Amino acid sequence: MTERLRVENLYKIFARSADKALKMLAAGANKELVLAETGAVVGLNNVSLSVPSGAIYMVMGLSGSGKSTLARCINRLNEPSAGKILLDGKDIVTLGDDELREVRRTRISMVFQHFALLPNKSVIENTEFGLKLRGVVLQERRRRAEEVLSIVGLAKWAYHFPHELSGGMRQRVGLARALATNADVLIMDEPFSALDPLIRTEMQDELLRLQRTLKKTILFITHDFQEALKLGNRIAIMSEGELVREGTPQSIVLDPGSEYVAAFTRDVDRSRLFDAQSVMIQARSIVKSGDETVIGNAGLPGSTAFVVDADARVLGSLNGESLSKVKDGASATSLMSKDFVTVRRSTKLVEVAREYRTGRPMAVVDENDKLIGTLEPEQILARIASISPPAQPATIGDRHA
């Protein structure tokens, strides 16, 4: 995945002069010492991160952690004190006023927590407002506004006013306005936190639905770890202006790295976070039986083998006794059973558990229905129970070995 946005060694010092504070931070001082000696407030302290193109990148932390300061620095509503912000490789910190204005109009859009709609403008006028500032003619910007309002499900409300809409609908207008500009990067600063819980869930689902189609690069600010887990491809966790943990949702839950981060992960529903691939035992070649089938299994004592065709698609399963006979030369297809379960590798463990039946072996397949692994109940339960799953066998070699 290509990189859209990179932040390198970014600092934000709230003071008339940041020089002394920057030197102190470089020497290892914390923000409390900087405040005590200089009166300067450290908003960001040497933050670096990389946002892949087309990803929803979550930035989270408690109040005062620096997450919103980071968002405002990226579009330079707050001027960084030091560091780089690279948009497709170009440092926007160095841009002059005219170039920065163009970036804000065409490259980066922002969705705010409190909607920021113009109360005296209709929904469609609010939606097309960024295009109007860009100088797009009325007919074209109206066409684009109608298009995005249809995408977010508000086409029938185009000529209503913000006060006639619910909170969730107003937030959809804010999202539509950002989408209308077709910007490369959307910055969403706690956009759903002011909504009721049910509406918030609906908006999260709506964003995921839109993202499957639009594939925008989104920097999403939140204080809610469950929201970060649900929406994010990657998560950066901030504290005291510093980035203290960064990675995939699964990696952060498995290895928080600090008590601060661990506190966010304790109440996570692991069955809805982890998928089949995260706990499967990778399939490995055991024996070739005939021209079209290969036997693959977990390689653990008592585990079931699967019979697959030349394209690694599952044909049937073999218990231990049948597998022994195949190893002695018997035909796999004549001994295999059709009584097995397959799940996609992306299937969440809560769904995997529903599919499991005692005595029915479970195969994990990819998007092309090719066997990539097997699942045993102890693997599933261990992950849900937040303990390390049993060790897997060595890395698999040639499937036809």
* 84 and 215 within one domain: yes
pLDDT band per the 50, 70, 90 thresholds, residue 44: very high
pLDDT band per the 50, 70, 90 thresholds, residue 156: very high
Percent of the chain with pLDDT over 90: 53
DSSP 8-state symbol, 357: B
With beta carbons less than 8 A apart as the criterion, state whether 289 and 307 touch: yes
* 135 and 119 within one domain: yes
At 356 the pLDDT is 85
* 283 and 223 within one domain: no
395 falls within a domain: no
E-strand stretches of 208-252: 217-222, 234-239, 242-247
Q: How far apart are CA 289 and CA 319, in angstroms?
A: 15
Q: How many helices (H) and strands (E) does the chain have?
A: 18, 18
With beta carbons less than 8 A apart as the criterion, state whether 126 and 117 touch: yes
- The whole model's pTM is what? 0.81
At 234 the pLDDT is 95
pLDDT, tens digit, for every residue of 96-155? Answer: 999 998 898 889 988 877 767 899 999 999 999 988 888 889 999 999 999 999 988 899
Q: How far is CA 256 from CA 219, 221, 239, 248, 252, in A?
A: 21, 19, 14, 11, 5
> Which distant-in-sequence residues (6+ apart) come within 8 Å of 133 by Cβ?
105
* 365 and 300 within one domain: yes
* 265 and 190 within one domain: yes
Q: How far apart are CA 237 and CA 228, in angstroms?
A: 10
111 falls within a domain: yes
15 falls within a domain: no
Interval 377-381 mean pLDDT: 84
Question: What are the b/e assignments for 206-232, b being 16+ CB within 10 Å?
Answer: bbeebbeeeebbbbbbbbbbebbbbbb
* 156 and 97 within one domain: yes
pLDDT, tens digit, for every residue of 330-352? Answer: 888 888 899 999 999 999 999 99
C-beta neighbour count of 53 within 10 angstroms? 15
pLDDT, tens digit, for every residue of 166-215? Answer: 888 888 898 888 888 888 899 999 888 878 888 889 889 989 988 998 89
* 207 and 138 within one domain: yes
How many structural domains are present in the chain?
A: 2
pLDDT surpassing 90 at residue 287: no
396 falls within a domain: no
* 362 and 218 within one domain: no
* 320 and 239 within one domain: no
Identify the CATH number of the domain in which residue 217 sits.
3.40.50.300
Domain limits for position 375: 276-384
pLDDT surpassing 90 at residue 20: yes
* 227 and 306 within one domain: no
With beta carbons less than 8 A apart as the criterion, state whether 348 and 272 touch: yes
Interval 368-390 mean pLDDT: 80
Q: How far apart are CA 73 and CA 292, in angstroms?
A: 59
> Which distant-in-sequence residues (6+ apart) come within 8 Å of 16 by Cβ?
none
At 394 the pLDDT is 37
* 223 and 334 within one domain: no
At 395 the pLDDT is 36
Strands 217-222 and 82-87: what pairing? unpaired
At 387 the pLDDT is 60
